[in-house]
A and B are shown apart, each in its own frame.
Chain A
């Protein structure tokens, strides 16, 4: 069983479109995250939710809107896609985002290409 799953795995779309990426974890964790890994492989946090509540919101354009319908799911909707949004987006979860040594488990990533 996959612990953290994301769909789709690949997403190719035109500039200006709106798209969503879905994430689900079956680990029973309280905290979920979205990360962006750019072409230089730099991995940076975007958002974090704890029990459906937004707890970390980095400086991300408001075209990106996360949504957590329950603590096992964290989706990412992106409006008006731009070329610079092309990246790999990773979802992750951890038992508790306030724990100092809680391991984060990552999904397989969604490779987004904006043409």
Chain B
């Protein structure tokens, strides 16, 4: 079983749609969680951190369920510019420092 699992997609949605991505992780000792975004042939960039209480940043809402080891990202009112791959990231201690473990990513395509 992969440490961090995501549905690879692609999710093809019309502009204005609401779309949700899910992610599960296997290591219950994981300590912090993020969503990163990667555009085609570009580097990953931080989208948002994910906190236990859930958090929102504009049209983006992230949720964490530690008991189920599950993370979600909700995007409301999708824009064309949201088209990208969304990477679920789980952080755990690796002995000398914190290690980010990335999921394989979920591809989103927002269409007219």
Question: Which A residues are closer than 8 A to B by beta carbons?
Answer: 31, 40-45, 48, 50, 53-56, 90, 97-104, 106-109
A43-B32 CB under 8 A given contacts A48-B96, A56-B97, A106-B45 = no
CA distance A108 to B94 in the complex (A): 25
CB-CB under 8 A from A43, the residues of chain B are: 44, 87, 102
Q: Cβ of B43 < 8 Å from any Cβ of A?
A: yes
CB-CB under 8 A from A108, the residues of chain B are: 42-43
Among B43, B97, B104, which residue has its beta carbon within 8 angstroms of that of A50?
B97
7 other contacts beyond A56-B94, A104-B100, with CB at 8 A cut-off? A41-B105, A48-B99, A50-B97, A56-B95, A101-B49, A106-B44, A108-B42
CA distance A103 to B43 in the complex (A): 14
Q: Cβ of B63 < 8 Å from any Cβ of A?
A: no
Q: Which 10 A-B pairs have the closest CB atoms?
A: A55-B96, A97-B97, A106-B43, A55-B97, A100-B32, A43-B102, A103-B46, A56-B94, A42-B104, A106-B44
A57 to chain B, nearest CB (A): 8
A73 to chain B, nearest CB (A): 18
A9 to chain B, nearest CB (A): 11
CB-CB under 8 A from B43, the residues of chain A are: 90, 106-109
CB-CB under 8 A from A99, the residues of chain B are: 98
A41, A43, A44, A53 — which one has the most chain B CB atoms within 10 A of its CB?
A43
CB-CB under 8 A from B91, the residues of chain A are: 100
CB-CB under 8 A from B94, the residues of chain A are: 48, 55-56
B98 to chain A, nearest CB (A): 6
CB-nearest residue of chain A to B87? A43
Q: Cβ of B85 < 8 Å from any Cβ of A?
A: yes
Binary contact track B46-70/A, C-beta < 8 Å → 1, others 0: 1001000000000000000000000
CA distance A103 to B100 in the complex (A): 10
Q: Cβ of B31 < 8 Å from any Cβ of A?
A: yes
Among A40, A97, A102, which residue has its beta carbon within 8 angstroms of that of B104?
A40
Contact A101 B100 (CB under 8 A): no
